[in-house]
Amino acid sequence: MDDRLISDYVKNIEVSGIRKFFNKVNKYQDAISLTLGQPDFKLPKEIKEGLIHAINNDKTGYTSNIGINELREEISVYLKTINIDYNKDEICLTVGGSEALFDVFTTVLNPFDKVLIPTPAYPAYESCTKLLGAIPINYTLNAEFLLDIDKIEMLIKKEKPKVLVISFPTNPTGAVMIKEDRDKLYEIIKRNNILVITDEIYSSLCFDKDYYSISQFKDIKEKVILIGGFSKMFSMTGLRIGYLCAEDKYMKHIIKVHQYNTSCAPSIVQWGALYGLKYCMEDVEYMKKQFIKRRNYAYERLTNLGFQVNFPKGAFYIFPSINKYNMSSERFCNRLLEEGKVAVVPGSAFGRAGEGYIRISYAYSYEELKEAFNRIEKWLKTI
């Protein structure tokens, strides 16, 4: 096919390394996969009822572009429980956090604008940036995968980026924002002309008691856009619902991108998510407790196997170093899959600083985790 027919920007990006690896796993029928960021819990009962209720009541037409009032109001209530203040008119419902990210990037970026993106990080930030002809500038995290505030300030001064992307709790490392970093970052944002896009899709999976976010400061709200979603919170990844929060000066433009992109989030699912927030917060707590147990188990197994690994405090990923094995993360994962019959994601799928690590998702049952770690243990003895 004539390559000139494809946009240069699109040619410049790749299929996500997570998906690439997941697709490979399908060829190994006997392998255990710990690749996907998808909770193994069933959809909570009341959400199912909400979906069915919406169907039976013919709630199948377009909703307003921004989404149904009831859910936006309930999101506003939820956010207040983690000290984040957005009213319903500052919240737009989207087709997953993915669409929210895409809408926001499209709304704010011109070609050649610079975007500070953490590495390692969820690959969408860099790909969205490149798709718009903007320029990603990676900033590395510290040894605990937390923000290196001095480095960020230095890069803001040097590169004059338009946008700073942050994401806590983090995919792929499981790190969460700490108070000290939040407060230091706040001072920097106050002093500089920059917009923060903060992806907090794992907000309900912070294992610490207190939740810290840059979106908790009212006086810099005009410099912050928040991304959220329900895929992970309610174990409903395939139902595709998320949201973004922004002040009106952004929202009035974002809504145009959202309108031409999808018109509105799926109507039935909007009602389902509403039931989730109203009736399923105990399920969320239950799932969190299970993830904490699995996190503890995965951490213990990995440290016993001699891996150097940070103790994750949120999301459902653990990100051990494989440096001592003298293999690229891709080779390590290929061999582990082919010889050890366990699939995990190469750290390189999460950017430059992901090399030397592997991402293990513990959003899988205890039995699967146990079997996978047994296989890893056995395989390590052979290499």
Q: Is 81 exposed, middle or buried (0-12, 13-18, 19+ CB in 10 A)?
A: exposed
Please work out, in degrees rounded to the nearest 5, the angle formed at the alpha carbon of residue 102 by the alpha carbons of 253 and 4.
110
* By the rule CB under 6 A, 168 interacts with ligand PMP: no
Whole-number minimum distance, CB 96 to ligand PMP, in Å? Answer: 3
Q: Which of 86, 105, 122, 271 binds ligand PMP (CB under 6 A)?
A: 122
Helix axes 96-108, 248-262, angle to 10 degrees: 120
- For residue 127, give both structure tokens: 């790909």
Query: What's the min distance (Å) between Cβ of 374 and ligand PMP?
Result: 27
Stretch that binds ligand PMP, among 66-74, 93-101, 283-291, 360-368 (CB under 6 A): 93-101
Q: Which one of 46, 199, 283, 355 is in contact with ligand PMP (CB under 6 A)?
A: 199
CA distance 99 to 263: 12
How many residues are listed for the chain in this entry? 383
Does the footprint of ligand PMP cover residue 173 (CB under 6 A)?
A: no
- Residue 266 lies near ligand PMP (rule: CB under 6 A): no
- Tell me if 201 contacts ligand PMP by CB under 6 A: yes
Binding range to ligand PMP, per CB under 6 A, among 45-53, 92-100, 155-163, 332-340:
92-100
Asked if residue 242 binds ligand PMP (CB under 6 A), the reply is yes
Interface residue with ligand PMP among 63, 106, 167, 235 (CB under 6 A) is 167
Q: Which of 97, 161, 347, 356 binds ligand PMP (CB under 6 A)?
A: 97
Give the residue from 324, 141, 147, 287 showing the smallest Cα distance to 204: 287
Whole-number minimum distance, CB 93 to ligand PMP, in Å? Answer: 11
Q: What whole-number distance in Å separates Cα of residue 349 and Cα of residue 120?
A: 9
For ligand PMP, the binding residues in 18-37 under the rule CB under 6 A are 37
Establish if 120 lies at the interface with ligand PMP (CB under 6 A).
no
Query: In the complex with ligand PMP, which residue's Cβ is closer, 141 or 340?
Result: 141
Which window, 39-47, 73-81, 91-99, 132-140, contacts ligand PMP (CB under 6 A)?
91-99
Contact (Cβ atoms closer than 8 angstroms) between residue 312 and residue 293: no
Token pair in block for residue 176: 């969460």
Residue 361 binds to ligand PMP (criterion: CB under 6 A): no
What three-state secondary structure class fits 137?
Answer: strand
**In the complex, least distance from residue 199 CB atom to ligand PMP, rounded to whole angstroms:** 5
Q: Which of 106, 171, 173, 213 binds ligand PMP (CB under 6 A)?
A: 171
Sheet strand arrangement including 91-94: 91-94, 242-245, 224-229, 195-199, 163-166, 114-119, 135-140
Asked whether position 262 contacts ligand PMP by CB under 6 A, the answer is no
C-alpha pair distances (Å), 158 with each of 116, 155, 192: 12, 5, 12
CA 228 – CA 207 distance, rounded (Å): 17
Q: Give the three-class secondary structure for 166.
A: strand
CA distance linking residue 167 with residue 145, whole number of Å:
11
Of 25-33, 90-98, 141-149, 153-161, the segment contacting ligand PMP by CB under 6 A is: 90-98
In 3-state terms, what secondary structure has residue 162?
coil
Segment near ligand PMP (CB under 6 A); pick from 20-28, 81-89, 94-102, 104-112: 94-102
Q: Residues in contact with ligand PMP, total (CB under 6 A)?
A: 13
Give the CB-nearest residue to ligand PMP: 96
Q: Which of 203, 206, 201 is nearest to 242 (CA)?
A: 201
Min CB(201)–ligand PMP separation in Å: 4
Helix (H, G, I), strand (E, B) or coil at 247: coil
Q: The tokens 């989404």 sit on which residue?
A: 67
Asked whether position 229 contacts ligand PMP by CB under 6 A, the answer is yes
Quick check: 231 binds ligand PMP (CB under 6 A)?
Answer: yes
Which token pair is 17?
A: 């390394």
Confirm or reject binding of residue 17 to ligand PMP (CB under 6 A): no
Residues that bind ligand PMP (CB under 6 A): 37, 96-98, 122, 167, 171, 199, 201, 229, 231, 237, 242
